[in-house]
Amino acid sequence: MKTRMTELLGIKYPIMLSGMSWISIPEMVAAVSNAGGLGILATGPLNANETRKAIIRIRELTDKPFGANATLLFPGAKENAKVLLEEKVPVINFSLGKGDWLAEGAHKYGGKVFATVVNERHALAAQKQGADGIVATGHEAAAHGGDATSLVLIPTIADVVDIPVIAAGGFADGRGLMAALALGASGISMGTRLMATKESGLHENYKKLSLEKGADDTIYGRYFDGLGCRSLKTPAAVKAYRKGFLGMPNFITAMSTSKDIAKMLNLPYFKLFIGILLSGPKNAIMMAYLANAFKAISLATEEGDMQRGVLTVGQSTGLLHDIPTVAELFERMTAEAEGIQNQLSEAVK
């Protein structure tokens, strides 16, 4: 299966792994790349030294193209992004920030840069900044999807940019892959479907739970992490998504959690705290939300805590029925896509 995405990145299948914190670990990244897709390392919960070690580990496990993400709004993200450039990671996927410096740095060694966006304006800005491709994330997606659904968002962005578009949000099988291509995308990015595979770093408790849930078993809101976020609908998630007093996060909990985050990212806490305060009240409030969400997501993905954990998943959780290996999933998806292509050729004449 050849598309602009496969030819640009040198991969077999037009499928990208979403960089999911604590899930898209080196073993998962390598499994996706070895199966013919593009594995993406999640650097969000890593400090610069851990990011470098993870890249080295990926290269021990695969000689195929791979990538890593950098959510530029998060603490420590720019330090991690600099490591990606130093290690000459083939593909850098950035979001929530300006990526012109990443594109400039990656292009010097032949690397590619993809920007994750949720609207037309951001897609055009990313293209102007030098991005080689766009990951367009619809409302159905896990975590931070946009306001528009994939059915509308993908062709809207494909119509206005000249670079390849990768569709994200609601894609979990061969039908979705063919639909994305029909909408003007060159491939798809999957998180929810790939987190329920044997190689995924997700705790088994939540792998099993994701199979039991339907398309309407997710919750979306802006009072969990301060951004619009979609998660699996559980009692813990419903509680976490409630609007706090005057719309404010729990600052006491956030203070405690932020100390753990600073330690994890090897950042001086005082420097982190002052930096957030100086960034303005709006950003400080959002960072407090993010800190609390960070802890809840960690409890779900790493510890499998069914009482306090919150797992970000997309509406495609309703399409999950088994836990295959990544290779088995890709073979099944591409066979299904080819079958649909043949059926359409016969049906539409």
Q: What is the residue-level pLDDT of the chain in tens, covering all 349 positions?
A: 899 999 999 999 999 999 999 999 999 999 999 999 999 999 999 999 999 999 999 999 999 999 999 999 887 899 999 999 999 999 999 999 999 999 999 999 999 999 999 999 999 999 999 999 999 999 999 999 999 999 999 999 999 999 999 999 999 999 999 999 999 999 999 999 999 999 999 999 999 999 999 999 999 998 888 788 999 999 999 998 987 655 665 655 665 666 666 566 666 655 555 565 556 666 666 566 667 788 899 999 999 999 999 999 999 999 999 999 999 999 999 999 999 988 887 777 6
Determine if the pTM surpasses 0.75. Answer: yes
pLDDT at 16: 98
Predicted pLDDT of residue 222: 84
Is beta strand 112-117 parallel, antiparallel or unpaired with respect to 91-95? parallel
Q: Where in the chain is the domain with CATH 3.20.20.70?
A: 4-204+321-347
Provide the 10 A C-beta neighbour count for residue 263.
Answer: 12
Long-range contacts: 301-308, Cβ < 8 Å, 24+? 301/20, 301/21, 301/22, 301/23, 301/201, 301/202, 301/203, 301/206, 302/22, 302/203, 303/203, 304/203, 304/204, 304/205, 304/206, 306/205, 306/209, 306/234, 306/236, 307/236, 308/236
**CATH fold for domain 4-204+321-347:** TIM Barrel (3.20.20)
Longest distance between any two alpha carbons in the chain, whole Å: 67
